[in-house]
Amino acid sequence: MLAGARWRRGARVTGRRFLSAAGVGALAFVAGLATTIAADKGGRDDLSADDAARVAAVIRPTTDFSTAERFEARSAGAGTHMKRVTRMAFSQPLANLSRKDETEFRFGNGLFEKLWVSSPSSTRASDGLGPLFNARSCQSCHVRDGRGRPPEAPGASAVSMFLRLSVPPETDADRKALATKAVLSVPEPTYGGQLQESAVTGLAAEGQLHVDYTEETVVLAGGDTVRLRRPHYRVTNLGYGPMHPKVQLSPRVAPQMVGLGLIEQIHEADILRLADPMDADGDGISGKASMVRDHDGTLVLGRFGWKASMPSVLEQSAHAFSGDIGISNPLMPDAFGDCTARQPDCRGMPTGEQANLGATEAPDPVLAMVVHYSENVAVPARRDVGDAAVLRGKKAFYGAGCASCHTPKFVTRRDAPNPAHRFQLIWPYSDFLLHDMGEGLADRRPVGDASGRDWRTPPLWGIGLTKTVSGHTYFLHDGRARTLLEAILWHGGEAEASRDAVVDLPPSARADLLKFLGSL
């Protein structure tokens, strides 16, 4: 429980005092917590007492904003990509991969970019697309391994954004499945768990997502104004009849791919220690863990996805193959993907399963190679960590309480399976917990432990290169924010005090804060 590192609801930070008494108390508490980790290893079964002491010293939050911290530029430790920044900055292998692992990374990248085709096909090893799908390849959503975007014009395809679908539980069986976490949500009876905007030849697509916006103005200290756009979602051209009257819709843009394997190797105890689900200290922050079942049925910590609904890169990749592309794999063996029993035409289409290649459309080692690639995409080095404005912005970031949820650093497991991931000091800027982000960002669609107002704290590493890699600056789960400042201003709920602190900053300090974020 990271109690002292939280901001009390209603707190303010003025331009004259970036690090308030509450902020100082927060840093003191986390420093004490680091000492506790050294004393009892904090639940980390991978550390010796000496290791625990080293970790405690390294993760101790800084109180010195006059200079960059040691190793701060290396966001992913020894694996940080130090090459010149280009639009391919998110597509490089971890710098400390073995030669063998780097070769396998290249093979995995080829499969990540592979375009799947419908069955039957002369390509044989590439057929199995759909029958309903959102994209033909992993790269179609994660362009250059960056973040997706909402459709920019009415009627435009939402290739790198999709719509999650579910309904409230209506039967005892539904309620039991949710209670036991056999499922995290109840799919829409006809359209399944995700709207599929594309279909193979001869089959109707499920429909088309449309986004309309209304705008509202926020006035900042110093007189600056920002126009926020509030999205409104609707689905047209439904191909299989009306949806359930209580359908819950939740848009999601594809996240960036960097550092996933390192995130997976953050010890579970280090994340759980930050949680305070009942807000026991009364500070208005109640980060909670998302506990989910893995493919073996074991209850484990979810840390991937906008609602932390996936426990591993393997699970995330397998579900994306099935739900986004319609490709069956060893974890998700249904060759018809998200086609439901109410879509008989879909389930009657040819599949890409071929007995001589394996039991699924993406048999081993296809899934394993894509997972290997996804686990080892490097995080680029920070830029300008010692710049005076960046350091002032970092101080403002801490002073506004942003570091309470966007936890700057962790040390990965000593016993990680891949040596490249072991005992690395990483700077993801996330606690990987669920937080109530207020009514403005609510999708009103519960998923497992996440309520309709909860979102996982997204990692911030690499965020300053979004324009360079992805060609846009759309942020948040649905891309509504067109700038980092807009993204901050949408924060509510547990982050309301931090948002208000940023609003209250004088323009020069706010510019410094944004420059710090741009350096990540």
Tell me the C-alpha distance between 96 and 93, whole Å: 8
Q: For residue 506, what pLDDT is reported?
A: 97
Residues paired with residue 475 on neighbouring β-strands, in sequence order: 481
Quick one: which of 290, 289, 324 has its CA closest to 310? Answer: 290
Instruction: Give the number of other CB atoms < 10 A from CB of residue 486.
Output: 19
pTM value?
A: 0.91
Query: CATH for 21-91+267-273+380-443+450-519, among 1.10.760, 1.10.357, 2.40.160, 1.10.3470?
Result: 1.10.760
Residues whose CB falls within 8 Å of the CB of residue 348, separated by 6 or more in sequence, listed in order = none
Backbone angles phi, psi at 172, to 5 degrees: -60, -35
In the chain, helix, strand, coil percent, each to 5? 30, 15, 55
Residues paired with residue 208 on neighbouring β-strands, in sequence order: 236
Which residues make up the CATH 1.10.760 domain(s) of the chain?
Answer: 21-91+267-273+380-443+450-519
User: What are the distances in angstroms from CA 322 to CA 136, 138, 335?
Assistant: 11, 11, 8
Backbone angles phi, psi at 401, to 5 degrees: 90, 10
Burial, 225: exposed, middle or buried (Cβ in 10 Å; 0-12, 13-18, 19+)? exposed
Q: Is 177 helix (H, G, I), strand (E, B) or coil?
A: helix
pLDDT tens, the chain, 520 aa long: 222 232 222 332 223 233 333 344 344 444 444 444 544 567 899 999 999 999 989 999 999 999 999 999 999 999 999 999 999 999 999 999 999 999 999 999 999 999 999 998 877 778 899 999 999 999 999 999 999 999 987 667 777 999 999 999 999 999 999 999 999 999 999 999 999 999 999 999 999 999 999 999 999 999 999 999 999 999 999 999 999 999 999 999 999 999 999 999 999 999 999 999 888 877 778 899 999 999 999 999 999 999 999 999 999 999 999 999 999 999 999 999 999 999 999 999 999 998 878 889 999 899 999 999 999 999 999 999 999 999 999 999 999 999 999 999 999 999 999 999 999 999 999 999 999 999 999 999 999 999 999 999 999 999 999 999 999 999 999 999 999 999 999 999 999 999 999 999 999 999 999 999 999 9
Residues paired with residue 250 on neighbouring β-strands, in sequence order: 164
